[in-house]
Amino acid sequence: MKRLLLPALLLFALGPTGARGQQTAPLYLQQDAPIEERVEDALQRLTLEEKVALCHAQSKFSSPGVARLGIPELKMSDGPHGVRAEIEWNSWRHAGWTNDSITAFPALTALAATWNPRMAALYGRAIGEEARYRGKDVLLGPGVNIYRTPLNGRNFEYMGEDPCLAGAMAVPYIRALQKNGVAACVKHFALNNQEQWRTSVDVVVSERALRELYLPAFHRAVVDGGVWSIMGSYNRYLGQHCCHNSALLNDILRGEWGFDGCVISDWGGTHDTREAALNGLDIEMGTHTDGLTTESRSGYDAYYLAQPYLELLRSGELPLETVDEKARRILRLIFRTAMNPRRPWGSLCSEEHYAAAKAIGDESIVLLRNNGILPLETDRYERILVVGDNATRRLTDGGGSSELKTKRTISPLEALKTLYGDKIRYAQGYTCGNPLYGKVEEVPAATMDSLRSEAVALARTADVVIYVGGLNKNAYQDCESTDRRSYDLPFGQNELIEALAEANPNLVVVNITGNAYAMPWVDRVPAILHASYLGSMGGLSIADVLSGRVNPSGKLPYSIPVRLSDCAAHASGDASNYPGIKPEGISMKKAPDAPADSRAYPQVTYAEDILVGYRWHDTRRIPALFPFGHGLSYTTFSYGRPEVSAAKMGPGERLEIRVPVTNEGSRDGMEVVQLYVGDDKCSVLRPLKELKHFRKLFIEAGGSAEAEFTLTEDDLKFFDEQSHGWVAEEGTFTLYIGSSSTDIRQKVKFRYTD
């Protein structure tokens, strides 16, 4: 730091003389001057070489500033569930620091399951404080890609299948995070909905589906969240890689949405100097290096936006304005973060952060089914058997770039032992073997048999069995860079759950996953909890929901189809819809750098178009096993007749809606009131209904509360491909107000007249 500031101080000392002979700092160093003036002042002091240097990495997770002018580098970190452990300067190995352990927050899919924007703000603030304390300027998250298929290995890093929910949760996360002077970097822009072939696949999707489903959460992050950076995705759209995609970055992000922040490439997502120069990429990160940082043929100087870019600028083949614009954006990001004098110090692993992780975890757990066995009051049973690998597994490890090094993690088994004491016994029940990243070994059948037999024998003598399984963070599970191979739970868990249900009717299943999965045993299990990866305090949240200390209030952020073929992306069974078709005879190793017109890359076609998730289940009348928005409580809520301010609505008008809700039970609880809108008749196919607003209400036992909503004309519109604009057609619309996408408690019709 000293090294960087020294030249700036010198400049300050030699700078122009102000009134009464005082020295005035150069404008770009004047902390109270408007940022845009500081940016322009700094920009005109930079040499061409310095501008180009800003545009690419200098290490795995940093990009340079301008030492000569005292402009510091940008330090980045994954994201999005906690601040990742330090990585070596120039390799993917952990640096082995002893002061980089952090609080692990619940996965973003858990955050989405809270349906509570206040939880998103709490999350953003806490993770921002940790990032700040760790000296980071950019946190690589949150992710808002839409959940298209349950096979996507990275769904746990995103916020579900609905753009309204994902956008509403992303905005407070971003705002609260950035209050720390740390930039959020929303990812992965755009259409990164699968991990298979992620670096090469070209996504073929209608403009309407793009606008209605895949872009709105990004749009909100930019327009309402005011996000300072965005990460281009690995895949292609219109045949062009998204890190330098003219349609996405120039036309939509910059042109239409007026984004003034930086586009940062995904690590290794840049493939071409000219495209990167012209199509809106600002900072190139993660392109392959050979371990040397300068003057080597594959060091940082050889990045697409380094020496090759400089040469094309010098020769006049690329316009100088391209680099001015990038440097301007990067300086703006530096002034907002690394040179922001007002940013707080932050804090790490504070009790407040653990409390935030616990509160988010508590609200995220979804009670899918309960015949009354839950909650398990602590004095009700004497012999409690816990079964399952996820009762003890550290689920903060693995999963790819979202892996976390925690200071404190409480597993479900530990937390259950604290609550129920020596009534608890444990059997592992199954094992996932010892898979290495990207490589999975078969577990010998004899090992599986003996683990299962042990658990089943103990289950016969227990009063109640708590099963804690699901997916984990190994390859082909919930893990970056691979997709799941099957919709079933892995490691023989279906057989194990069936056998446990046979051995003991008091079986409670808790599955920890970031994805939907098949439940062939669903009718034989009296209670099912769906939890996601809950971070440091996850075990406590699970134990508290099981015991009733916490009344569950999570709602599914994605549908759980009965079978994979009930999911829109898999309905055709055609590989062209998932995972895509790979051209004959093409070695995938060569595909990413192949010329754009050679089609030397796979293509996936989103044939389901706008009917993703519940939009598909509703419209095609294919019931999900557990629908989007579903989640039970230990109490029950009744919905009164909504009050609507008018029976019709015209252009520019709004409808005010109030929904009274009563807690009919004897426990305090929280209910998420969901407001969906359906266009009764339209000239184009529309989903039966779409989520437009939601409110999470806390209601005391026996008490009542009101959910208030304001409906605007925008809530009625679809994207019209003919006019390339948003259109609301005259006619009757229905408001569907409910406790899930299928548990609709009230319907109200109104007319829209234009």
List, by residue number, the catalytic residues. 266
* Closest approach of ligand BGC to the CB of residue 166, in Å: 16
117-133 and 351-364 helices, crossing angle to 10°: 150
Nearer to ligand BGC, 78 or 544 (CB): 78
Give min distance, CB of 187 to ligand BGC, in A: 5
Question: With contact defined as beta carbons under 8 Å apart, do 124 and 173 qualify?
Answer: yes
Rounded distance, CA 616 to CA 690, Å? 11
Q: Is 618 in the site for ligand BGC (CB under 6 A)?
A: no
Alpha helix positions (H), 282-406: 307-314, 320-336, 351-364
Contact 399, 479 (CB under 8 A): yes
Residue labelled with tokens 């599970």: 477
Residue nearest to ligand BGC (CB): 401
By CB under 6 A, the residues from 553 to 572 that bind ligand BGC are none
Q: What's the closest the beta carbon of residue 234 comes to ligand BGC, in angstroms?
A: 7
**401 binding ligand BGC? (CB under 6 A):** yes
CA distances 193 to 144, 161, 179, 480, Å, are: 10, 11, 30, 11
Task: Pick from 156, 214, 267, 309 the residue near ligand BGC by CB under 6 A.
Answer: 267
**Rounded Cα–Cα distance for residues 710 and 657 (Å):** 6
Indicate the residue among 330 and 466 with the shorter CB distance to ligand BGC: 330
Task: Draw the binding track, 226-265, toward ligand BGC (x: CB under 6 A; -: no contact).
Answer: ----------------------------------------
Do 243 and 269 contact (CB within 8 A), yes or no? yes
Does 266 bind ligand BGC (CB under 6 A)? Our answer is yes
Please state the closest distance from residue 153 (CB atom) to ligand BGC, in A: 11
Give the Cα separation of 502 and 486 in Å (integer). 25
For the bound state, the minimum distance from the C-beta of residue 345 to ligand BGC, rounded and expressed in Å, comes to 25
Q: How far is the CB of 139 from ligand BGC (least distance, A)?
A: 10
Q: Which is nearer to ligand BGC, 520 or 592 (CB)?
A: 592
Amino acid making up residue 711: L
Closer Cβ to ligand BGC, 78 or 162, answer by number: 78
**Cα 602 from Cα 581, distance rounded (Å):** 5
195 Cβ contact list (under 8 Å, min separation 6)? 152, 153, 154, 480, 481, 482, 483
Which of 29, 55, 111, 140 is in the footprint of ligand BGC by CB under 6 A? 140
**φ, ψ dihedrals at 209, nearest 5°:** -65, -40
Phi, psi of 136 (to 5 degrees): -95, 150
For 120, residues 6+ apart whose C-beta sits below 8 A from its C-beta are 111, 114, 169, 170, 171, 172, 173, 176
Q: CB burial class (10 A; 0-12, 13-18, 19+) of residue 685?
A: exposed
Beta carbon of residue 80, minimum distance to ligand BGC (angstroms, whole number)? 8
Question: C-beta of 159: minimal distance to ligand BGC in Å?
Answer: 15
Instruction: For residue 394, give the nearest of 412, 417, 415 by alpha carbon.
Output: 412
Q: How far is the CB of 523 from ligand BGC (least distance, A)?
A: 39
Query: Nearest CA to 55 among 292, 250, 333?
Result: 333
Instruction: Work out whether strand 603-605 and strand 655-663 pair parallel, antiparallel, or are unpaired.
Output: unpaired
Q: Is 478 in the site for ligand BGC (CB under 6 A)?
A: no
- Contact (Cβ atoms closer than 8 angstroms) between residue 458 and residue 425: yes
Q: Work out how close the CB of 511 gets to ligand BGC at its nearest, in angstroms, rounded to a whole number.
A: 25
Q: Based on C-alpha coordinates, what's the Rg of the chain?
A: 27
Smaller CB separation from ligand BGC, 267 or 694: 267
| Bridge pairing between strands 229-232 and 262-264 | parallel
Spell out, one character per residue from 87 to 126, where the chain touches ligand BGC: x when CB under 6 A holds, - when not. ----------------------------------------
Q: Is 363 in the site for ligand BGC (CB under 6 A)?
A: no
Among 78, 275, 566, 618, contact with ligand BGC (rule: CB under 6 A): 78
Region 317-356 residues binding ligand BGC, contact defined as CB under 6 A: none
Which residues, 6+ apart, have CB-to-CB distance to 475 below 8 Å? Answer: 435, 436, 437, 438, 439, 440, 481, 482
Q: What's the min distance (Å) between Cβ of 61 and ligand BGC? A: 7
**Minimum gap (Å) between residue 509 Cβ and ligand BGC:** 31
Q: Give buried/exposed letters for 109-125 (b at 16+ CB in 10 A, else e).
A: bbbbbbbbbebbbbbbb
* Count of CB atoms situated within 10 Å of the CB of 324: 15
- At residue 338, the 3 state secondary structure works out as coil
Cα 171 to Cα 2, 111, 629, 750: the distances in Å are: 36, 13, 20, 30
Residues 303-322, one symbol each (x = binds ligand BGC by CB under 6 A, - = not), give --------------------
Nearer to ligand BGC, 300 or 467 (CB): 300
Q: What does the DSSP assignment read for 590-623?
A: TGGGS-GGGT-S-EEE-TTTT--THHHHHHTT--
> Could you tell me the smallest distance in angstroms from the CB atom of residue 719 to ligand BGC?
28
Q: Which residue has the tokens 């989007």?
A: 628
Query: How is residue 496 annotated by DSSP?
Result: H
Contact pattern for ligand BGC over residues 180 through 199, marking x by CB under 6 A: -------x------------
Amino acid code (one letter) for 234: Y
Q: Which two tokens stand for residue 426?
A: 């444990």
Q: Is 467 exposed, middle or buried (0-12, 13-18, 19+ CB in 10 A)?
A: buried
Cβ proximity to ligand BGC: between 287 and 322 the closer is: 287
Binding site for ligand BGC (CB under 6 A): 78-79, 140, 187, 266-267, 401
